[in-house]
């Protein structure tokens, strides 16, 4: 684009400022404003919000406890099973005089 074209484009863009017709709000602007004012005058009470927050924290705590217990139980169960399996192999080997060492 040569300099003259650039100047023309710049001017056309700046002319939008004066050529653009005035824009108005959508109808019932005051109704929406009034609704907003009423909503801000009757917010959710702080006590209720705090209560909800406490419930959320309590539930989170319970979920964590359950998760930790479940994890611990799972580990314990798998260890017990491994021990039982090792014992079974050992007694089988003893009965048939087989060595359980791995080479």
Partner 1 sequence: MIPVEEHVDIEALKRGDELAFKSLVEMFQDRVFHTCFGFLGSREEAEDAAQETFIEVLSAIKSFRQESSISTWIYRIAALTALQAIRKKRRKRQVALFFGTEGTDAALANANDPDEGSHPLLRLENKERADVLYKAMNRLPESQRVAFTLHKIEGLEHKEVAAIMNLTVSSVESLIHRGKGNLQQYLGNYYRKQ
| Residues of the shown chain interacting with partner 1 in the complex, contacts defined by CB under 8 A | 1, 5-7, 9-10, 12-14, 16-18, 20-26, 29-30, 32-33, 36-37, 40
Q: Considering the complex, what minimum distance in angstroms separates the CB of residue 69 from partner 1?
A: 35
Nearer to partner 1, 22 or 47 (CB): 22
CA 9/CA 3 separation, integer angstroms: 10
What is the CA angle 89-94-92, rounded to 5?
Answer: 35
Q: Considering the complex, what minimum distance in angstroms separates the CB of residue 38 from partner 1?
A: 11
Nearer to partner 1, 24 or 102 (CB): 24
Kindly state the tokens that stand for 5.
């074209």
Helix (H, G, I), strand (E, B) or coil at 20: coil
Closest CA to 86 of 75, 102, 73: 102
Q: Considering the complex, what minimum distance in angstroms separates the CB of residue 4 from partner 1?
A: 11
């Amino acid at each position: 684009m040569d300099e003259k074209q650039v100047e023309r484009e710049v001017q056309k863009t700046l002319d939008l400022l004066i050529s653009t017709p005035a824009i108005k709000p959508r109808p019932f602007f005051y109704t929406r404003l009034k609704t907003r004012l009423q909503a801000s005058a009757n917010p959710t009470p702080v006590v209720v919000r705090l209560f909800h927050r406490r419930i959320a924290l309590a539930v989170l705590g319970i979920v964590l406890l359950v998760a930790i217990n479940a994890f611990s139980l799972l580990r314990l169960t798998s260890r017990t099973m491994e021990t039982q399996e090792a014992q079974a192999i050992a007694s089988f080997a003893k009965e048939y005089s087989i060595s359980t060492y791995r080479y």
